[in-house]
Amino acid sequence: MDIIFYHPTFDIPFWIAELEKHIPGAKVREWKSGDKGPADYALVWHPPVEMLQGRTLKAVFALGAGVDSILSQLKAHPEMLPETTPLFRLEDTGMAEQMQEYAVSQVLHWFRRFDDYQQQKNAVNWQPLPEYHREDFTIGILGAGVLGSKVAESLLAWGFPVRCWSRSRKNWPNVTSFAGKDALPDFLRETRVLINLLPNTPETVGIINASLLNQLRDACYVLNLARGVHVIEADLLQALERGKVKGAMLDVFSQEPLPAESPLWKHPRVAITPHVAAVTRPAQAIEVISRTILQLERGEPVRGQVDRQLGY
């Protein structure tokens, strides 16, 4: 079995050694430009078109939870990968736990009014503030996949009301589910903290815009953990300026790294992290990919295959 591997930043020798250890008989090599050698599987992140074009592969694995970069390339170069070639993404390789940590820590930060206390500290103002109440602090999760379900679970443990919105209705214990465009206004109406975990699809680009933000509760909060293209940054800044949105925590941006001239850097109610909410953990990812490849070789059912029409 031949496996080609491409990632611009990963420790390639480590991945190759571990994959060969986990998949008996596999020969794994780093793909480089000009490599037209045999390949049964490809493991990729933002792959060059040349890497996949013209190959007959049993499957392609994206080395992350999102596959939008590959799907975008396929729109421009549909010949890059035949429709019949299965495309897989990493549903959870330690990413759910990281998302839980990130979401819970930030929701509690806002709930305990630490953002307000930081503002008071900057103004040298010693003044206890009224407490928020959990029943008034409804968490709304946009996107109800594997990561969304885990984030919902972790927030329920803290006693917050939790709701989710997605393409199809979910049956999650103690979570109110909304589905489809017609249900979006009802989902937004009582949401105090909006957590975005949507996939990047043509339907979701720019979804967090002025219209959506205006439908949230006053003095709401926005936490974007999905993709920068989901947020119209100018609309978010305007909502922050007039107080509709009280605070935003952003991990992803339309342009990364975020340009130094972006007004988001200096806004006192915006917190920023450099796309680190959940990263691929090599040991867990290698285990999942190896197991999936072996299951495919045995003709067994597998998880994580992407529906290219839906985009996830």
pLDDT tens track for 82-98: 999 999 999 878 899 99
Tokens standing for 81? 């990968």
Q: Output the average pLDDT for the chain.
A: 96
Segment 93-105 mean pLDDT = 95
- Does residue 141 lie in a domain region? yes
Is 53 a domain residue?
yes
For residues 134 and 256, membership in a common domain is answered with: yes
Q: 7, 89, 163, 227: which is the annotated catalytic residue?
A: 227
Element housing 107 (H / E): helix 95-111
Burial (CB count <10 Å: 0-12, 13-18, 19+), residue 294: middle
Q: Could you give the percent of the chain with pLDDT greater than 70?
A: 100
User: How many domains would you assign to the chain?
Assistant: 2
Model confidence at 65, in pLDDT bands (50, 70, 90)? confident
- 86 in the same domain as 110: no
59/178 same-domain check: no
At 69, the pLDDT band (50, 70, 90 cuts) reads confident
Instruction: Judge if 82 and 113 occupy the same domain.
Output: no
Same domain for 179 and 284?
Answer: no
Kindly state whether residues 61 and 83 are assigned to the same domain.
yes
Confidence of residue 218 (pLDDT cuts 50, 70, 90): very high
Active-site residue, selected from the candidate residues 275, 281, 291, 308: 275
**Range of 40's domain?**
2-91+280-298
Residues 75 and 143 in one domain: no
Together in a domain, 247 and 290: no
Contacts 24+ apart (CB under 8 A), 8-12: 8/45, 8/46, 10/45, 10/63, 10/282, 11/282
Kindly report the CATH number assigned to the domain that includes residue 64. Answer: 3.40.50.720
Distance (Å, whole) CA 283 – CA 85: 26
Q: Is position 312 within any domain?
A: no
pLDDT digits (tens, 9 = 90+) for 233-271: 999 999 999 999 999 999 999 999 999 999 999 999 999
Could you confirm whether 242 is annotated as catalytic? no
In a domain, 306, yes or no: no
Instruction: List the beta bridge partners of residue 144.
Output: none
Indicate the burial class of 126 (C-beta count within 10 angstroms; 0-12, 13-18, 19 or more).
exposed
What's the whole-number mean pLDDT along residues 42-65? 95
Q: Are residues 242 and 169 in the same domain?
A: yes
Indicate whether this model's pTM tops 0.75: yes
- As a whole number, mean pLDDT of residues 206-227 equals 98
Confidence (pLDDT) at 158: 98
User: Catalytic annotation on 22?
Assistant: no
Q: What average pLDDT does this structure show over 126-143?
A: 98
Question: Are residue 255 and residue 288 in the same domain, yes or no?
Answer: no
pLDDT at 95: 92
Three-class SS string for 175-239? EEEEECHHHHHHHHHCCCEEEECCCCCCCCCCCECHHHHHCCCCCEEEEECCCHHHECHHHHHHH
Condensed to tens digits (0 to 9), the pLDDT of residues 164-181 reads 999 999 999 999 999 999
Tell whether 108 and 185 lie within a shared domain. Answer: yes
